[in-house]
Amino acid sequence: MRFLISILAVFSFGLHLSYAQIPKLSEDSKISLLTCAAGNELYYAFGHSAFRVQDNAIGLDVVYNYGTFDFNQPNFYLNFVKGKMVYSLTRRTFERFLFEYEMEKRWVKEQVFDLTLEEKNELLAFFENNYLPENREYLYDPLYDNCSTITGDVLKEQFGDRLQFNGSHLKNKFTFRQLVRKHLNINSWSSFGIDLTFGSNTDRQATVRQHMFAPYFAMRQMRNTTLDNRPFLERERTVLDYGERSRNGFFPASPLFWFSLLFFFTAIITYLDNKHKTRSKWLDFSIFFITGLVGIFLCFLWFGTDHVYTVNNFNVLWAFPLNLGVAFVLIWNARLPEWIPKYIYAVLGLLGLTILFWIFQIQIFSPINSLLFAILATRYWYLLRCIKLKY
């Protein structure tokens, strides 16, 4: 019954907004930030942030959620790859919003802002203006413009320099890559894929406000934020009290397991090739073809999309795009062309350069890359040996 009343109240509220001015909140009203625990899916892995507006005097309890996307949007996956992903602001009852987190047993915490009545009404008007059809959509960016970064954007737009984000609680300031890794199992395909596609831009230290792209850090930041030199928060409470999700994966399904197998497989084949004075063309073709294909994809993300975080990606040094063409030379020619040794020395040099970039932290690579580098170095060395011994 209570759920039905809430729906009717919000429906009436929506109609009222459509045909009249935004209603005034009462003295008992509250505006708060909801922070939700991480989930199992990759797009839930970092948690979630949303605003709640509650006023029992006028029967209002709604959540303004800037993190809504639709899989059924035209060209959804293509737009995601190209960096043209559209998110939108939605408004729903608090009970409907909470239902999903109850079902998935994910904790939800609430931080109530210490605002005057006038400030509450101005913030509600801001949300409602954002919720207009012509304003509710925005171009999503996972690091710079998401449901959590908007928390800081909205509050700063409303309160300007009166609102200060204090960074004293950040004993160590992290890079974007480090912040992402805090929410993922490093030995997972999602973490490996993110490290592969993220460029060196993500290895610079994030500012205090940029840390807020992660909802957990946005929640902590609210505790260290002031408005007119007084604490911004009135109080905090736990709405749903569940434990943090486990990030332990199944090792036989992990990239470390499979790339370890691939390394030992490559080492054994190379040993047998050397023993029998032959060359496994299919193995060389596979290595060059896959690394070249990966390199072309990374170049597309760098130069052909609007993503900021995929530029300056030095993974293209070891996943060299020209390997794709060389793969066919290695499998179609009985005798390798004279220029192949120079090419192998070049890609070996690029592999060494990649390792130097890693050592000097120009770009941080996935630890799994160590196995890939070992595989490439093993086969590059053997190709040079084959050319020298002419077999």
Q: Which residue has the tokens 């005097």?
A: 57
Confidence band of 71 (pLDDT split at 50, 70, 90): low
pLDDT digits (tens, 9 = 90+) for 218-265: 999 999 999 999 999 999 999 999 999 887 788 999 999 999 999 999
Classify residue 313: in a domain, yes or no: yes
Residue 76 has a pLDDT of 62
- Look at residues 240, 262, 292 and tell me which one is the last residue of a structural domain: 240
What does pTM read for this prediction? 0.88
Instruction: Count up the domains in the chain and report the number.
Output: 2
pLDDT digits (tens, 9 = 90+) for 260-314: 999 999 999 999 999 999 999 999 999 999 999 999 999 999 999 989 999 999 9
Residue 356 has a pLDDT of 98
pLDDT digits (tens, 9 = 90+) for 323-362: 999 999 999 877 788 899 999 999 999 999 999 999 999 9
Q: Same domain for 45 and 162?
A: yes
Q: Same domain for 136 and 226?
A: yes
For residue 190 the two structure tokens come to 């999602």
Q: Where are the beta strands (DSSP E) in the chain?
A: 30-36, 48-55, 60-68, 86-93, 108-113, 137-139, 163-165, 225-227, 230-231, 233-240
Q: In which element (H, E) is residue 386 found?
A: helix 369-389
Is residue 63 within 8 A of residue 32, CB to CB? The reply is no
Classify residue 176: in a domain, yes or no: no
Q: Same domain for 230 and 255?
A: no
Classify residue 350: in a domain, yes or no: yes
Q: Same domain for 268 and 219?
A: no
Query: What is the domain range of residue 46?
Result: 2-170+208-240
pLDDT digits (tens, 9 = 90+) for 10-69: 444 444 444 347 889 999 999 999 999 998 888 788 999 999 999 999 999 999 999 887
Is residue 265 within 8 A of residue 379, CB to CB? The reply is no
Burial class (CB in 10 A: 0-12, 13-18, 19+), 301: buried
Classify residue 193: in a domain, yes or no: no
Classify residue 180: in a domain, yes or no: no
Q: Same domain for 9 and 104?
A: yes
Q: Same domain for 377 and 229?
A: no
Residue 12 has a pLDDT of 45
Q: Which residues contact 283 (CB under 8 A, 6 or more apart)?
A: 266, 269, 379
Q: Same domain for 55 and 74?
A: yes
Q: Same domain for 236 and 336?
A: no
- What average pLDDT does the segment 100-120 reach? 97
